[in-house]
């Protein structure tokens, strides 16, 4: 059997549901990852009084600027924090036949790509209407997981990720997945390479402490 590829740690992305990896095939980053971190701010006071501003402009025009006035002051534009968005980023993962030394497209290329592609999708649940209707189970965490964050005992398993030794986020959602499969195939008809583009976002608001996390306790350093 051929020796599997040696992959630099900085080029790997680990995605884990509970304590189990989404796939045992290494997730190789095709390009650099750029984190999106943003907050919104707004002025302390509103935009003033239009009628007062019109009157002040009229007085200034008639009697000169020294007599003008308005309802607006520069201090009113002082910005204060309104909201901070979750951490988000886009990543493209590549799979190549032979990455595990097996040279089987189904195991090394197709199945791991499908596993990632399922992350933003709901599952079907119970049927209704004499079996003609199926309800959907949300792909993200249920509201009940907020009731007791540390001692949550529901069935939902958090999805966490780690990028090398750069970042660890213990609760994420995948908002979009776009798989691409090669037209070249192996002897079994499976693609010899694939790539999956993912839009990933933290479930919680991004914080200073979130960026300080580097190690996933489920997989170690």
CA dist., res. 95 & res. 92, Å (int): 10
| More confident position, 9 or 2 | 9
**Which residues 6+ apart lie within 8 Å of 26 measured at CB?**
5, 7, 12, 99
Q: Report pTM.
A: 0.80
> Which of 19-23, 49-53, 67-71, 93-97 is predicted with the least confidence, judged by mean pLDDT?
67-71
CA dist., res. 131 & res. 127, Å (int): 5
Q: Per-residue confidence at 217, pLDDT binned at 50, 70, 90?
A: low
Judged against a pLDDT cut of 80, whether residue 73 lies above it is answered with no
- Per DSSP (E only), the strands in 18-100 are 20-21, 28-29, 35-36, 39-43, 79-84, 86-96
Contact 191, 184 (CB under 8 A): yes
Nearest Cα to Cα of residue 205 among 83, 120, 89, 91 = 83
- The HSE-up count of residue 182 (CA atoms within 13 Å, CB side) is 17
Neighbours of 157 (CB within 10 A): 12
């Amino acid at each position: 059997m051929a020796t599997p590829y040696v992959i630099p740690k900085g080029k790997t992305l680990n995605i884990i549901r509970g304590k189990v990896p989404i796939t045992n095939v290494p997730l190789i980053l095709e390009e650099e990852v750029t984190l999106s971190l943003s907050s919104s701010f707004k002025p302390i006071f509103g935009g003033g009084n239009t009628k007062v501003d019109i009157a002040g402009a009229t007085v200034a025009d008639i009697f000169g600027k020294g007599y003008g006035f308005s309802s607006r002051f520069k201090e009113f534009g002082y910005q204060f924090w309104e909201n901070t968005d979750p951490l988000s980023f886009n990543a493209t993962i590549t799979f190549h036949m032979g990455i595990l030394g097996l040279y089987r497209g189904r195991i090394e290329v197709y199945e791991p790509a499908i596993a990632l592609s399922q992350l933003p999708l709901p599952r079907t649940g119970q049927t209704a209407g004499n079996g003609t209707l199926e309800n959907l189970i949300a792909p993200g965490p249920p509201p009940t997981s907020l009731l007791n964050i540390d001692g949550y005992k529901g069935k939902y398993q958090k999805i966490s990720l780690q990028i090398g030794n750069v970042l660890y986020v213990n609760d994420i959602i995948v908002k979009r997945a776009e798989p691409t499969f090669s037209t070249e195939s192996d002897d079994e008809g499976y693609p010899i390479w694939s790539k999956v583009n993912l839009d990933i976002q933290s479930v919680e608001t991004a914080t200073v402490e979130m960026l300080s996390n580097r190690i996933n306790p489920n997989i170690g350093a």
